[in-house]
Structures are given as C-alpha cells and as structure tokens.
C-alpha cells in the first residue's frame, strides 16, 4: 500500500518554478522552509562579523532591494547583510529572503552589475525553493529506500546489501547530483532575468563567471559534481543573454 500511495503523493506535491516554468517536488510548505531559513541565518550570523555601514553595505542593500522588488514574493521578509570575511568568496540567500554577502567575493564582482549577478543567482535559489526541493528529494529517496528494504526482507544479507548500495549510488548520481546541477543552471537563468528586470545590464554576468572560473582550482568531472562545468555554465548564460537583454531594455524604457 505504501508503495502504491507514494506516486500519488508525489504528483500532488508538484509546484511550478517562476520564470522557467519547471515542475518541482515540494513536500514542505513555504512557511516551513522560511522558518528553517531564519533559524539557520541567525546561527550563521551569530558567529559572523557584520559590516554595519559604508559604501559596500549600501551597495549590497541597494542591489538586494532592487532584485527583491522584481522577484516579488510577498511571503519573504527580506534582510541583506555584508559579512566581513575576506577569505570567504561566497554569498547566500536562505528561504524567506535572508541574504548574506561575504567581503571576499567583492574583488571578483568588481562592479554593481557583478554583485547583481551574484545576488540574483542566490535570490533565485530561494525564490525557486531549491532548498525545499532538495529536502523533498532526499525524503523521497529515503522513503523509496525503505520500501526497497522492506521488499528484500526475505532475501539474503548479501543480496540486500548489494541492492541497497546500488540504489544509493543510483539515487545519488542519477537523481540528486543532476538535480543539483539543474538548480544551479536554473538559478543562473532566473538570476539573470531578475537582474535585468531590476535595471542591471546582464552582459557583465558572463565576465563575472569567467573570473570565478579562473579563480577555481581542479574540479571533478561534471557528472560527479553538484555544479555544471564552467564551460557549460558560460555557454548557457551566453545563450540566455538575448532574452535577458530584452528584459533589461524593457526595464530601462519603464524608468
């Protein structure tokens, strides 16, 4: 019965990602995701050195506010912070709109458009509910694994171990890692559109990702990675530029 009900439950839990229109699995509500995001954000910032004022803080808040305005999710309570950590080349946006940018990424963003590329990408992850989808996928994989384990109850220990190990490898490399790459590519696409709609020229985004690629060290093959390869990412962005430039021109005409 459990195995028969699972496909019905999964179908009922599908939602649609903004901009791309992709169907996704969402077993958790937006409120649940936002609660987890707020808790994680508080924990992270409790040990962080937050930059209180200055031109970089003003830029982070300005860029974030403009992108949040076009993302237009009324359930998000936006917050933008610049964290002092020159060794951390990173930024993130947690469910519910909690955003942090580390000072270590600013030398690579270089310009306000570069920062909009980064913040658009991170905000896109949250708007597209990638964190909740990831949790949903892991929960589903766990449920399927439990069903498989129950169906093997009468098999030998060796058979059970082999089958469960094979399932684990298949789920990781066949589902979870590809979806991680899907999330990254989707965040690139949505973020590019959001920055363009917010009035930022999307063309410098390609230059930013080239700088990121040049900074990175040795990387695993794409099929073993949670991210698309640098070459794939840049090619996809270049293909998306005509649409993003059109959105950018519309935003300029409306000002």
- Annotated active-site positions, please? 122
User: What element of type H or E holds 16?
Assistant: strand 14-16
Contacts of 125 (CB under 8 A, 6+ apart): 93, 131, 183, 187
- Unique residue bearing structure tokens 């990675």: 225
**Secondary structure (H, E, C), 208-237:** HHHHHHHHCCCCCCHHHCCCCCHHHHHHHH
CA 67 to chain centre: 15
Query: Contact, 125 vs 106, CB < 8 A?
Result: no
- Bridge-based pairing state of the strands 79-83 and 98-102: parallel
């Amino acid at each position: 019965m459990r195995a028969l009900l699972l496909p019905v439950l999964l179908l009922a839990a599908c939602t649609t990602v903004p901009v791309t229109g992709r169907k996704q699995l969402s077993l958790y509500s937006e409120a649940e995701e936002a609660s987890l995001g707020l808790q994680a954000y508080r924990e992270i910032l409790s040990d962080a050195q937050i930059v209180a004022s200055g031109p970089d803080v003003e830029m982070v808040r300005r860029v974030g506010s403009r992108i949040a305005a076009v993302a237009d999710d009324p359930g998000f309570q936006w917050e933008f912070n610049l964290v002092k950590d020159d060794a951390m080349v990173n930024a993130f946006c947690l469910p519910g709109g909690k955003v942090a940018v580390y000072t270590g990424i600013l030398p690579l963003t270089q310009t306000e458009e570069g920062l909009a590329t980064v913040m658009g990408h991170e905000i896109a992850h949250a708007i597209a509910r990638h964190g909740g989808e990831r949790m949903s996928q892991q929960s589903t994989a766990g449920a399927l694994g439990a069903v498989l384990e129950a169906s093997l109850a009468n098999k030998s220990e060796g058979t059970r171990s082999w089958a469960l190990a094979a399932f684990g490898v298949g789920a990781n490399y066949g589902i979870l890692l590809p979806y991680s790459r899907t999330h990254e590519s989707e965040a690139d696409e949505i973020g590019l559109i959001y920055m363009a709609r917010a009035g930022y020229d999307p063309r410098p985004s390609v230059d930013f990702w080239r700088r990121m690629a040049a900074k990175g060290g040795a990387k695993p093959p794409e099929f073993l990675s949670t991210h698309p390869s640098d070459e794939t990412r840049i090619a996809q962005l270049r293909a998306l530029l005509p649409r993003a430039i059109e959105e950018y021109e519309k935003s300029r005409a409306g000002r």
